[in-house]
Amino acid sequence: MSRSKKPRNKKYVPKGSCSNVLGIFAGMGGQHADHLRRIQTLNHLAMADLAQGRGTREQWNRIVGAINIANVMCDQGIGDEFRAATIAARDALLALGKRAVRNDDRFVCTGEELTAINYGLDCHDAQLENVRAIDVDRAAEEVERRVRHRINSTSVMREIRREAAC
C-alpha cells in the first residue's frame, strides 16, 4: 500500500510588493507621518508646560531625550549643522535641571534657556523630518547605550555634587 505522494511543486504565492519604491528613501513622512506628528506634539506640549512654569520631571525628561537624540544624530552625521544649537539646548536643560533640584522640582526657565531649548527642539524637528525611521531607532538605541554605560553623559545630581565639592 502506497501513500499518496506530496505534490512536487508548491502553489505559487507571490511575495509582497512595495507600491511606492522611492518611499523607502524618504524621511519620516509617508507611512510614519502619524507617529512623527504624535512625537512632535508630545514634545511641544511638554515644552509649552515647561515654558509656562507648569512643567514636571516627566516633561523635562521628554525634552532631554529629544535633545539627546538630536545630539547623537549630529554625531552620526544627520544634521551636523545643528550641533551648536543642540549643545546649547543640552546645557540649558542641565542648568534648568540643577535649579529644579534646588527648588523642589519646580521647572522655571530663564529667557536664554527657553530660547536655546526651543531652537534645539526646532533643529530636532528638522532632523526628524529628513531622516528614515530606522535612523531614529538607531539614535535612540545609541542614547540608551551611552546612558547605560555613562559614555559622554551628564547627570544633574553628579554636577550638583561636583559644584558643592569645589
Task: Indicate whether 85 belongs to any domain.
Answer: yes
Q: Which residues of the chain have pLDDT under 50?
A: 21-22, 24
Phi, psi (5° rounding) for residue 163? -65, -35
Specify the DSSP class assigned to residue 77: T
Give the pLDDT confidence score for residue 10 in this predicted structure. Answer: 65
Task: Indicate whether 115 belongs to any domain.
Answer: yes
Give the pLDDT confidence score for residue 22 in this predicted structure. Answer: 44
Task: Indicate whether 101 belongs to any domain.
Answer: yes
- Print the domain residue range for 122: 30-165
Count Cβ atoms below 10 Å from residue 109 Cβ, excluding itself.
22
Task: Indicate whether 19 belongs to any domain.
Answer: no
Grid coordinates in use for 74?
A: 549630529
Give the pLDDT confidence score for residue 28 in this predicted structure. Answer: 59
Task: Indicate whether 2 belongs to any domain.
Answer: no
Task: Indicate whether 89 belongs to any domain.
Answer: yes
Give the pLDDT confidence score for residue 64 in this predicted structure. Answer: 96
- The alpha helices in the chain, defined as continuous H runs, are 33-51, 57-75, 83-102, 111-129, 133-148, 156-165
With contact defined as beta carbons under 8 Å apart, do 25 and 18 qualify? no
User: What is the domain count for the chain?
Assistant: 1
Phi, psi (5° rounding) for residue 41? -65, -45
Give the pLDDT confidence score for residue 59 in this predicted structure. Answer: 95
Task: Indicate whether 154 belongs to any domain.
Answer: yes
Q: Give residue-wise pLDDT tens across range 103-124.
A: 999 999 999 999 999 999 999 9
Task: Indicate whether 38 belongs to any domain.
Answer: yes
Give the pLDDT confidence score for residue 6 in this predicted structure. Answer: 66
